[in-house]
Amino acid sequence: MSKTIIFFYGLILLTTNLLSIAQSNEPLLTNVDNRKALLLDGSWSFIVDPYKVGYKDSKRYNFHEYVNPRENFAEYEFLETNTLEVPGDWNSQKNELFFYEGTVWYQRKFTKEKIANHHYSLYFGAVNYKADVFLNGKKIGSHEGGFTPFNFDITDYLISGENYLVVAVNNERKESHVPTLKTDWWNYGGITRSVKLIELPSVHVRNFKLQLDKDNNKTLYGWLQLNLPLVKDVEISIPELNVVQQIKTNNKGIADIKINANPVLWSPQNPKLYEIQIAVDENILKDHIGFRTIETTEDEILLNGKPIFLKGISIHEETPDHGGRVVSKEQGRQLLLWAKELNCNYVRLAHYPHNEDMVRLADEMGLLVWSEIPVYWDIEFDNDTTYLLAERMLTEMINRDQNRASVVIWSMANETPQTKSRTIFLNKLIKKTREMDKDRLISAALHRVGYDAETNTKIIEDELADFVDILSVNNYCGWYGSTRDTACYDLKWARAFNKPMIMSEFGGGAKQGYHASKDHRWSEEFQAEIYRQHIIMFENIPFLAGISPWILKDFRSPARMLPGVQDYWNRKGLISEKGIRKEAFFVLQDYYNSYNK
């Protein structure tokens, strides 16, 4: 085969991949919790398909079509007695699927009366990792990425009466995926968040943003976009602030918003939210939004113009009392209540966007949020398709949560190598973020830093730090190594960039209930001593503006295999998988309680 043919074949393949990403689903519909919807959660029938026979063009395996195998020759059937709960992952629901990575077909029927001149959108909170969606025997679209929402306009596919919905879910890991082949959390497969059939008027607000002007705290500004390119009158009101304002969209269906108001500013001490009403014709879309500013100086983070130290904790989206994805608002609330019990004012939601319930709860509970996309470790930074996947995850995260006052940091990545291609890749994401949202801070968790042995000083010099607002570093002094490094007490920090620092991770593992001296690894005392060392070390960092220790609770990980200790759990949690607090929990709680800078 000639080089020319190979080149054009590669170009065609790349173009096909890029188009599949760009065309797989329609622009995101936001604020779905406040729209009329039919909830499609509950028991779904399923078929495990390790050989992917359901994708074959064969009547025997057309999983997306309803076939009665007793009347037609078919080698499949969705049984009502063989079900998985949605939302949920298959790994924690079925013992035989605990390690399974592959394709599972989900199926359910639902009844809906179709109303003329209404639009219908099928909305998924998240599916891990790839979803192919079929309605009444026809494919309506695909989505790739396991932690962000997506939706399809199904107006032309929906019928009045009974509808037949099938979703093929595949969670296979691949080098080109985001995240890539290896992570340090469980690859939970399935329809992991709620599914909704959204009923919409023919003309409606698809997306909007409303924020406080950081240069003038008596001005709210933003924009809104309709689903159609129409010139339309829109009314915005904030009853508690006596605001009623008329605006008009342009011929693209977009309008700028500028409102004079004097809101009480949102903060952890007073998480004030205002009801916002947006009226198009007779239809009103509501939301509850808080208003605040977030900025940095050379050494500090400023909330509403005043310094704040981020007293945080990192959290994985795993249930409070066992393994598996968080599937309810109550489970998410429990995780955040534990953070509040620690005296936190901030949570790092790692290493991917969590359920929308989490950030809405953080709004209500007064917890600042770091939200992150799963650009994790060594993904394919030279791959254009991989970049587009990461950028789409970023835009879906920002579009979903851009009105959440609690979200103050967008994170681009975690522990990535210091390479030219990595820096170019992440800087493109940073530029995209600043185009979409100039009202929040940008960071990325770094982990490789310089070290001056003579002065026992770690130096933040990664060139990526030049592009972010906050220097964030993961530091495991005292844990990774043959023995605990007592130099943690005296470890100093320096920086090549005059920006505030968050220690985005630190900590060590402990098996809850194992007690020994502070020199015995895996004991609660060993873990607690690591925390005490770091607390002393923090006094050596004058530009430290926050911390988010790793991690709130033990979580599932295939990489943590030590029998009798880990058993596929990462044991760095301050709380066990059974909800029992370890000694280090109280060390951190006391530190936060006494912190008075």
CATH number assigned to the domain comprising residue 164: 2.60.120.260
Residues 368, 487 within the same domain: yes
CATH of the domain at 352: 3.20.20.80
- Does 210 share its domain with 318? no
| Residues forming beta bridges with residue 372, ordered by sequence position | 411
Does residue 24 lie within any of the structural domains? no
Residue 459, both tokens: 């130096």
Q: Among the three residues 201, 236, 261, which one is the final residue of a domain in this structure?
A: 201
Counting Cβ atoms within 10 Å, is residue 247 exposed (0-12), middle (13-18) or buried (19+)?
middle
Residue 517 lies inside a defined structural domain of this protein? yes
* DSSP count for the chain of H helices, then E strands: 8, 33
Same domain (yes/no): 481, 418: yes
**CB atoms near residue 19 (< 10 Å):** 10
Question: CA Rg, the chain, in Å?
Answer: 25
Boundary-marking domain end, from 153, 179, 201: 201
The answer to whether residues 163 and 289 belong to one domain is: no
Is the domain of 441 the same as that of 328?
yes
What is the structure's pLDDT at 25? 64
Of 201, 221, 247, the last residue of a domain is: 201
Instruction: Give domain status of residue 128, yes or no.
Output: yes
**Residue 21: per-residue pLDDT:** 47
pLDDT in tens, 107-137: 999 999 999 999 999 999 999 999 999 999 9
Reading the block at residue 19, the tokens are 């188009």
10 Å Cβ neighbour count for 450? 12
CATH number at residue 271: 2.60.40.10
**186 and 232 inside one domain:** no
In terms of DSSP bridges, do strands 310-315 and 544-547 run parallel, antiparallel, or are they unpaired? parallel
> CA of 31: how far to CAs of 37, 472, 488, in Å?
12, 31, 46
Cα end-to-end distance, the chain, whole Å? 68
Q: What is the pTM of this model?
A: 0.94
Angle between helices 356-365 and 329-341 in degrees, nearest 10:
40
Residues 209 and 197 in one domain: no
pLDDT of residue 487: 62
Residue 13 lies in a domain: no
Q: Are residues 271 and 195 in the same domain?
A: no
- Same domain, yes or no, for 387 and 265? no
Cα dihedral angle (20, 25, 30, 31), rounded to 10 degrees?
A: -130
Residue 117 to residue 115: CA distance in whole angstroms: 7
Are 244 and 338 in the same domain? no
What is the domain range of residue 268? 205-294
Q: Provide the pLDDT for residue 23.
A: 43
- Establish if 153 belongs to a structural domain: yes
pLDDT of residue 505: 97
Report if residue 386 sits inside a domain. yes
What Cα–Cα distance (Å) separates residue 46 from each residue in 8, 17, 72, 83, 464?
Answer: 40, 28, 20, 6, 45
Asked, for residue 15, whether it belongs to a domain, the answer is: no
List, in order, residues 6 or more apart from 39 with CB less than 8 Å away: 194, 195, 196
Q: Are residues 164 and 260 in the same domain?
A: no
Regions in the chain scoring below 70 on pLDDT:
1-25, 58, 69-70, 481-487, 596-597
Tally of domains within the chain: 3
Contact between 176 and 381 (Cβ < 8 Å): no
* Neighbour order of strands in the sheet with 294-296: 294-296, 301-303, 306-307
Strand intervals (E) in 136-228: 138-144, 150-153, 161-170, 195-201, 205-213, 216-226
**pLDDT at position 165, please?**
97
- 30-72 pLDDT per residue, tens: 999 999 999 999 999 999 999 999 988 767 777 887 777 667 7
Three-state SS at 530: helix
- Show the CA angle centred on residue 152, arms to residues 97 and 36, nearest 5°: 100
CB atoms within 10 A of CB 229: 13
394 with 317, same domain: the answer is yes
